[in-house]
Structure 1
Amino acid sequence: MRASLAQDLLNLVLTADPAFFERLVVRLLVAMGYGGSVQDAGRAIGQSSDDGIDGIIKQDRLGIDNVYIQAKRWAPGHSVGAGEVRNLSGALAMRKALRGVLITTSTFTSSARDTARQIGNIVLVDGDELAELMIDYNIGVTTSETYEVKEINLGFFEEA
């Protein structure tokens, strides 16, 4: 059931426009505890001249420690390669930034994963992980049913 929900979420993200995806990843990272609120801590840049950065999460109120985001809304089967990881690394270096997150709706090549490991300050999130995080942090989903499970309270019987 969860796998089906994750796939449905990913399909909806793929049909949304690119600007929506950029806002989505900022909102997700804020929901995960990075920054404060979307208004205070996160913003989607989303311009053609964004120099490889689609969003910024302020880790503190002064914006001294920022996490820079690159969002790739790519179709399944079109994997993100090492070149994209190196491009983000260069964009981080231009800003003297300490860390970045590269999020895609697709997958990463093994070369991209190796490059991110070697660089060390870039976290990769593929489409499957993105959908799982969206479910875990209630982004784009709501709870439709909950089940209550009862158990015996032995303490109640010891008091009698």
Structure 2
Amino acid sequence: MNSEMPIWTGFLSPVLEVMKDGSVYARSEIYELAANHVGLTAEQKLEMLGSGGARYKNRIGWAINYLRKVHALSRPSRGNYVATPGGQLLNQNLPHIRTEAHVEKFLAEVGVQGLTPSTDRSSYSTPAQPDSVPASQASELDPYEQVQTGVERIHTDVADDLLNRLHQNKPDFFEQTVVDLVVAMGYAGADGVAARTQLTNDGGIDGVIDQDALGLNRVYIQAKRYALDSTVSRPDIQGFVGALHGVQADRGLFITTAKYSGGATTYAESVNTRVILIDGPRLANLMIRYGVGVQIQQTINIVKLDEDYFE
């Protein structure tokens, strides 16, 4: 039995091992199965984070999220997971995963969608026993950098979840979310008004922001909830510019869950009408930054010595 609790990467192999039969497991089941697989004691299971959550669940949770990110696990429904064929291959070939690089090297050479190993397993040799690595040795980053990196990773995961949820909801929900975001960013001004246009007769414009009480300064919005892997092309932007000309507007925001083609970006930069393009990743980051669709789970104060106090 390990004397120390494994760091989160130390739970990658245990999670895959307990899910290797291809059955669907609830997240709560995976916590306990993986914890028992590595032999966590009752005392270790009682270890808590500063936020109040169980430390082992937090670490196993990171392992689950990472394995899903690299397509070793899939989520058929909320809170339920299953090992993909790629995840089963990973478990068969790399029984003692130590690092993310270890996983990504294997998946890159095998191919996430490919199911036949094309490399020599000896190149992935690992120690015979998956001994725990002390958390203090888990990273060469200093503590502050580790905090920053942790926050960035959390934001990346939340950003992915935001885009998925936006895509799962109805178009009018997405349009309202975009209006809420622009207001949260301060573009409505102190006395401004923001609203969605009528769905049946919007003329290519989904929202209007009056930046002053009289509506003398307006920003027009088009919000398109497209598939996350799709591309907004030049004709889409041309249509929006035409809609802006129709209301004699000189500026507009085109916001989508997808990405933009090079032609769309070049066109937006070349027209006299000021058109700002916001793609899916930027949209999600702005929602996090301005608190739209997210909640603050925990606030951490980082302190340093006050040299002035000791003078």
Q: TM-score range by the shorter chain?
A: over 0.9
Q: Check whether the contact 2:219–2:253 (CA below 8 A) recurs between aligned residues.
A: yes
Q: Check whether the contact 2:163–2:228 (CA below 8 A) recurs between aligned residues.
A: no
User: 3-state SS of the aligned residue for 2:258?
Assistant: coil
Runs of 4+ in structure 1 deviating by more than 3 angstroms, as ranges, are none
Which residue of the other structure, out of 200, 205, 230, is the alignment partner of 1:53? 205
TM-score (structure 2 length as normaliser): 0.49
Which residue of the other structure, out of 275, 283, 304, is the alignment partner of 1:122? 275
Letter in 1 for 2:260: F
User: For residues 157 and 21 of structure 1, what CA distance do their matches in structure 2 show?
Assistant: 54
User: For residues 43 and 130 of structure 1, what CA distance do their matches in structure 2 show?
Assistant: 19
Residue in structure 1 matched with residue 196 of structure 2 by the alignment: 44
TM-score (structure 1 length as normaliser): 0.93
Q: How many residues align?
A: 157
Q: Could you tell me the percent identity over the aligned residues?
A: 39
Any gaps of 5 or more consecutive residues in structure 1? Answer: none
Superposition pairs of residues 1-160 of structure 1, within 5 angstroms: 1-36=154-189, 40-120=192-272, 121-158=274-311
User: For residues 264 and 187 of structure 2, what CA distance do their matches in structure 1 show?
Assistant: 24
- Deviation digits for residues 79-112 of structure 1 (CA, Å, limit 9, x no counterpart): 1111111111111101011100000000111110
What root-mean-square deviation, in Å, do the aligned CA atoms of Structure 1 and Structure 2 show?
1.4
User: For residues 157 and 90 of structure 1, what CA distance do their matches in structure 2 show?
Assistant: 65
Q: Check whether the contact 1:52–1:91 (CA below 8 A) recurs between aligned residues.
A: yes
- Deviation digits for residues 29-72 of structure 1 (CA, Å, limit 9, x no counterpart): 111110137x9410011413210000000111110111000000
Q: Which has the higher contact order (CA 8 A, sep 6+)?
A: 1
User: 3-state SS of the aligned residue for 2:286?
Assistant: helix
